[in-house]
Amino acid sequence: MTAAPSLELSCTATSAALHQKAEELAKKLGLPCLPAPASTPQLVYTERGLELRLQLPGSDTSRASVLFIDFAGGKAAFRHARNCTARQPLARAVGIRPGFRPFVFDATAGMGGDAFVLACLGCRVVMFERSPVIGALLADAVERALLVEPLADIFRDMVRLIIGDAAEVLKQLAEPADAVYIDPMYPHRRTSALNSKEMRIIRAIVGDDDDSPALLDVALTAAADRVVVKRPKGAPLLGGRRPSHQVLMKNSRFDVYLTRHL
């Protein structure tokens, strides 16, 4: 991974009641804990959950941009995911078919949106996120989801989060996944993902995933059935490797590498 420019990140909370949580997180991540929200980049415990607040270059300087992961509302809302069908591109790419739901390793969890959709479609999913900061936001979102039915059932039974590097863990699996899913940070420029404020915030924290060709190499040895790589439309093949087939969408595509015969 290419390191993001070093941000002077700290933890804090919006109320005294939440401050203990901010102190614990600061200790865990080795960050300073400030008594109150400031204008510097911060992980902030609020009444609704943990938020990342930072100023994105070129955005309105009077307001911080916020990254908040919420499986019960917003884009990833359960209602939205429930409408996903087994015919949608991601489902087809990972190999969902009547009577079969693959066990999926999402090697690049990010905000957990794709993992959530797969879990809602009936797949068991292990999410890996190597950034401790994004991992903390994701863990907080999972904790909240476990308090809300029917999300609680899905997250208890179908989803597991591991904060760590997927490439390391994939080398030593007890139970191989049917499918490994890789959605690395998109290359700079000419990408629709850069238009997403959330992805711009994630990039400010994690930098570029320019080691993703190596992740694909490991995944190809670890997946029982297939590896799926999400790429922007027109982007070169990851590591120059030709996929078995592609699932095309308007702005992006899934490159599918079947591993059964490798």
Ligand X SMILES: C[S@@+](CC[C@H](N)C(=O)[O-])C[C@H]1O[C@@H](n2cnc3c(N)ncnc32)[C@H](O)[C@@H]1O
Give the interface size with ligand X as a residue count (CB under 6 A).
22
Q: Does 178 bind ligand X (CB under 6 A)?
A: no
Tokens of 10: 């700290």
Site for ligand X in 46-75 (CB under 6 A): none
* 208 binds ligand X per the rule CB under 6 A: no
Q: How far is the CB of 169 from ligand X (least distance, A)?
A: 8
DSSP tag of 208: B
As a whole number of angstroms, the distance between CA 78 and CA 223 comes to 28
Can you tell me which of 33, 43, 64, 111 binds ligand X, judged by CB under 6 A? 111
Residue 241, class by beta-carbon neighbours within 10 Å (0-12 exposed, 13-18 middle, 19+ buried)? middle
Q: Identify the residue among 67, 81, 167, 238 touching ligand X (CB under 6 A).
A: 167
76 secondary structure, DSSP code: G
| Residue 105 engages ligand X in binding (rule: CB under 6 A) | no
Considering only 126, 209, 223, 243, the residue that binds ligand X (CB under 6 A) is 209
CA torsion through residues 165, 86, 235, 245, sign: positive
Decide: is 131 part of the binding site for ligand X (CB under 6 A): yes
Residue 106 falls in which region: left (phi positive, over 0), alpha (psi -120 to 50) or beta? beta
Nearer to ligand X, 23 or 165 (CB): 165
**In the complex, least distance from residue 112 CB atom to ligand X, rounded to whole angstroms:** 6
Q: Which stretch binds ligand X (CB under 6 A): 57-65, 92-100, 160-168, 247-255?
A: 160-168
Q: Note the helical H segments in the chain.
A: 19-29, 78-82, 89-94, 113-120, 132-145, 151-157, 166-170, 197-206, 212-222
Q: Which stretch binds ligand X (CB under 6 A): 118-126, 141-149, 165-173, 252-260?
A: 165-173
Enumerate helices (H) and strands (E) in the chain, giving the number of each.
Answer: 9, 11
- Using CA atoms, how far residue 3 sits from 127, 137, 164, 210, in Å, is 21, 19, 16, 10
* Residue 95 vs 113, nearer CB to ligand X: 113
Q: Pick from 165, 208, 217, 225: which binds ligand X (CB under 6 A)? A: 165
Does 129 bind ligand X (CB under 6 A)? Our answer is yes
> Hey, is 42 helix, strand or coil?
strand
Looking at 41, 102, 113, 243, which residue binds ligand X (CB under 6 A)? 113
Can you tell me which of 26, 202, 204, 229 binds ligand X, judged by CB under 6 A?
A: 202
Closest residue to ligand X, Cβ-based? 110
